[in-house]
Structure 1
Amino acid sequence: MKKLYLMRHGQTRFNLQKRIQGACDSPLTDEGIAQTQAAHDYFKEQGVQFDRIYSSTQERACDTAELVSGRTDYIRLKGLKEQDFGAFEGQQEYLNPPLQGDIGYGDYFVTYGGEDYMMVRLRMEATMRDILNNPDNQTVLVVSHGAAIAQFFRHVLTDYPRVRMRNCSILEFDYQDGQYDLLSIMDPVNREVLYQKETNNKRRKK
């Protein structure tokens, strides 16, 4: 059994300005840096130590990975990048089209030079599989992005939570034989459990 901690980066300037931020980048804000410290403290309190740390190649994820772990030996992978929103990059979020249920924006952005939801799902799943199939990786931290993370867990889980990815949210998975088991989603900034897997014991108590 392997352990995967998958988390979103801290708040960025574009998050604060409510701008569309996918393939483009913007730096962490002071609040974003404080959020990474909260995540760092959470992992320390839980006694979690990572064999390896992986990050999207984008600055906001790299900085989050470094600040959360206190390490600089993390590995940058393009497969963990955020969805590309094409010509909409850097524009105000109100220009986004309506969400299409659990597939996000579907293939809307392809016309404008971006990615569709299935492209994101497949590259995220392939990248994560390569990470977790490495025999040296027993406990890993992966830092990615809101839409990319949501598309990933919707792809690999049959029963997934309807939870919006807050900045620095942490998803804890068990992984074995190609199967992902989502145990919890934690918001370390507000010390709030956003999702907790229901155990058989809890079911019997109801």
Structure 2
Amino acid sequence: MGCSVFFTSVLKFIPMPVLYGIFLYMGVSSLRGIQFFDRLKLFWMLVKHQRDFIYLRHVPLRKVHFFTAIQLTCLVLLWTIKVSRAAIIFPMMVLALIFVRKAMDFCFSKRELSFLDDLMPERKKKLDDARNEAGEEEEESRRVMEAAAAASSVQLHVGKTSDVDIPKQSSDRTDPSEIIILDEMSQMTVWKALTLKTETL
């Protein structure tokens, strides 16, 4: 781009409509992925055809439309001021958008605004959301496993004479899936190796 300064003698032969076409194409192609443009399309889109946007998971659709309508109104107002004779106050109107955004705190919760008006990209939000859901599922499964382990754990009662009372297992097992841990442990290779090392010491 810096070297293009030295090519002005060649660049002046490019017709202006070609440049306008390139700029128009660049502008239209960059609209894809902009959240505001995606939310504008939701006005005319059926619910079954809507894409899986992260803000649609957490914010009601009517609030999404309301937020988009506020943004569209501000955009039209700024454009009108820019093309009118009052264009000199355009920077002040841009500054006034800060107060409009602050007023939205009364209409939306902080959680809703974090999904509708956040700097974090959509893809990163989806990854974080999936990570949080996976963490919640893992926490829930851990609680279930702890509850099951607590329910089926063997109660050990240690008395003053420091003898341990373990409930006796019946020798006749009717259920083949029932496993006595002490019998199975003595047959394990690791346990045999540990016993052998203990005997040698």
TM range (shorter): under 0.3
Q: TM-score, normalised by structure 2?
A: 0.24
Q: TM-score scaled to structure 1, two decimals?
A: 0.24
Higher relative contact order (CA 8 A, sep 6+): 1
- Structure with higher Rg: it is 2
